[in-house]
Amino acid sequence: MNLIELKAPYLLFVGDAEDLLMAKTAKGVAHWRPERCLGQLRFPEAKADLGIADLDVEEAARQGAKTLIIGLAPIGNSLPASWIDTCIRALEAGMDVASGLHLRLTDVPDIVATAARTGQKVHDVRTPPANLPCGTGLPRQGKRLLTVGTDCCVGKMFTALAIHRAMEQQGVEASFRPTGQTGILIEGYGISVDAVVADFISGSVEVLAPAADNAGHWDIIEGQGSLLHPAYAGVSLGLLHGAQADVLVVCHEAGREQMDLMEGYAVPSLEETIDINLRMARRTNPNARLGGIALNTSRYDQQQALALIAEVQQRFSVPVVDPVRTGVASIVAEVLKDA
Amino acid sequence: MNLIELKAPYLLFVGDAEDLLMAKTAKGVAHWRPERCLGQLRFPEAKADLGIADLDVEEAARQGAKTLIIGLAPIGNSLPASWIDTCIRALEAGMDVASGLHLRLTDVPDIVATAARTGQKVHDVRTPPANLPCGTGLPRQGKRLLTVGTDCCVGKMFTALAIHRAMEQQGVEASFRPTGQTGILIEGYGISVDAVVADFISGSVEVLAPAADNAGHWDIIEGQGSLLHPAYAGVSLGLLHGAQADVLVVCHEAGREQMDLMEGYAVPSLEETIDINLRMARRTNPNARLGGIALNTSRYDQQQALALIAEVQQRFSVPVVDPVRTGVASIVAEVLKDA
């Protein structure tokens, strides 16, 4: 199976981004994997700044950069000529190029031709590997934790990365298993599960998070969507079944009432989300349990947020955190306590 | 949206099939849509016989055949040269060619070249249309019935076709909406939902079974897999959400204990299957209800089968049928009674 594997260190392409929200992919990579980031490439008009060295393609290559990562999305439906030029220069300087955009770099003939000529790789990380298998549902060695959610964009990737980091800091053998483009660019590895052909959703997760060599190893798998999402629940269910998770962590944005972009759909309750996820998870792992709840409390001030966290913790009797405000230590302690 | 639409009448390609099980696709088309089938094309060594006129490609074309349908699967992993020759002769005789095989006709250069030269179409019906949208979950006009199941291969397509036929015979305006290759070849229309990219499962069903012009129109949608299937549940859930079904009919093979090809997985109970399907269906159609149960009782003799049907009907208080033995009239009566 030809899984994506990006070579570090990276040069992060920030282009003409006006702020870090526009360059959120670059920001994510720089935040979670600073040791892999050699520098940033900013056009003169850029206002976003990752706070790392400014390098042009040639200087980055001289310093050993192995991959140029496209760290922002273009405005509009095409790749700017200046971005294509940058990719071509990177390939010519001996670097690979990686992108999580819907627009594929491998659809640009000049990029493809340059890659062929230079022998460098072009990674469109949303494109899944060929020849994925169907799921087997067979038990496999190792422990797995999956973040699930009440909706899209509630913090499933952030929570998984935070749990992975906390485990590593405690010396627990653990791998982050990304299922979306930003996570893949951060980890340099992964499968964009929502881009897989429907028959292979569960199978792709069995490939992404395979049997561990060590029974105590934890795979921390990034969830997608929500089992109660009217457009994307199929992805979420296939992911849940393929993950065979021992532990679920439910993610939710406190105060969000309507589902993101889904007219007429209320965000489901935490109760319903927990219940349906555990029920469905137990089809492929009868021991699946709730490890905690991660609230995104960014709509509230500190005092309100802490009160909310305490209230939810009281309601569900599991550790409740905001990964940004409180960290995830209490969830990790709960997850590891029986290990 | 460029949905498949096959032109009738058809010439059914039976090749060298030894029996009707090998030629089950051809048999399905001939059984359900005899009015569209002009004849069969059998090699001299074929033992299977659909009981319709034997025609060669040229004679079929003279009689007005518009599409050659590949009615069986090859043994092994490649298309026999004789099948490719037959496809090419059909294209040269002015017919389109349609196949539901995993091996795509459009991957055979000679077939592609002949189609280009003759202007005829090659339909690989497992290939979904390009540019499918994501689901919206928005309500749409018309009534919809979806067949769901405890497992794969329990009769979801057969049941849907039988209900569709019974409705038409009663003068009810209804359409069969196929979601798999055999159904698509039978109806000449449809989307192979398990071949769609995961993000678009629900959206593809919204396209396949769109808002009806008439509020009383019924779409009878073929289900796939099972919500409790460890490999394919994602397809089933996306299909369920996209269908926004008013009525579910649950299909089950009586006496099957282990899931098809899934080691260690028991077939879920009817109780659990009904409960989880209604619960998930109500996310996109709060009025979803159970319309009946279709049992495949082919493992039993007539007396045992009728006793089983009576027992299940007693247990669930909904119409229970075996579409083959008893027909589906009682389910159709139940479904239409409030209309």
Residue A107 has pLDDT above 90, yes or no: yes
Residue of chain B minimizing CA distance to A265: B137
Closest by Cβ to A265, choosing from B137, B198, B203: B137
Closest by Cβ to B235, choosing from A193, A199, A264: A199
Residue A1 has pLDDT above 70, yes or no: no
What string of DSSP letters covers A265-299? -BPPPHHHHHHHHHHHHTTT-TT-EEEEEEEE-TT
Q: Strands across the sheet with A289-296, in order?
A: A174-177, A218-221, A143-149, A247-253, A289-296, A320-321
State how far residue A48 is from chain B, nearest Cα, in angstroms. Answer: 31
State how far residue B118 is from chain A, nearest Cα, in angstroms. Answer: 29
Answer whether B264 touches A (CB < 8 Å). Answer: yes
Answer whether B234 touches A (CB < 8 Å). Answer: yes
Q: Is B234 in Cβ contact with A201 (below 8 Å)?
A: yes
* Cα gap A67→A28, rounded to integer Å: 16
pLDDT in tens, A10-62: 999 999 999 999 999 999 999 999 999 999 999 999 999 999 999 999 999 99
Residue B124's closest CA among B196, B169, B51, B185? B185
Answer whether A226 touches B (CB < 8 Å). Answer: no
As a three-state string, the secondary structure of A188-208 is CEECCHHHCEHHHHHHHHHHH
DSSP B297: -
State how far residue A23 is from chain B, nearest Cα, in angstroms. Answer: 24
Whether B143-336 and B4-124 are alike in CATH topology: the answer is: yes
Q: Is B134 in Cβ contact with A232 (below 8 Å)?
A: yes
Residue B6's closest CA among B81, B95, B93? B95
pLDDT at A159: 98
Q: Is A239 in Cβ contact with B230 (below 8 Å)?
A: no
Residue range B210-216: average pLDDT?
97
DSSP B36: G
Domain ranges of chain B: 4-124, 143-336
* Cα gap A212→B288, rounded to integer Å: 42
Q: Are A20 and A52 in contact (CB under 8 A)?
A: no
**Which residue type does A311 have?**
E
pLDDT in tens, A221-237: 999 999 999 999 999 99
Confidence category of residue A2, pLDDT binned at 50, 70, 90: confident
Residue of chain A minimizing CA distance to B267: A283
Residue A110's closest CA among A81, A75, A77, A142? A81
Fold that domain B4-124 belongs to in CATH: Rossmann fold (3.40.50)
Residue range B134-158: average pLDDT?
97
What is the count of residue pairs from A and B with beta carbons less than 8 Å apart? 132
* Cα gap A275→A213, rounded to integer Å: 32
Chain B residues in contact with A135 (beta carbon < 8 A): 230-232
Interface pTM, i.e. ipTM: 0.95
Answer whether B227 touches A (CB < 8 Å). Answer: yes
pLDDT at A77: 85
Helical H segments across chain B, by residue range: 24-32, 57-62, 81-92, 109-118, 156-169, 181-187, 201-208, 233-243, 270-281, 302-316, 329-336
pLDDT in tens, A200-210: 999 999 999 99
Q: Which CATH class is domain B143-336?
A: alpha beta
Residue A339 has pLDDT above 60, yes or no: no
Average pLDDT, whole number, for chain B? 97
Peptide bond into B210 cis (omega under 30): no
Residue of chain A minimizing CA distance to B265: A137
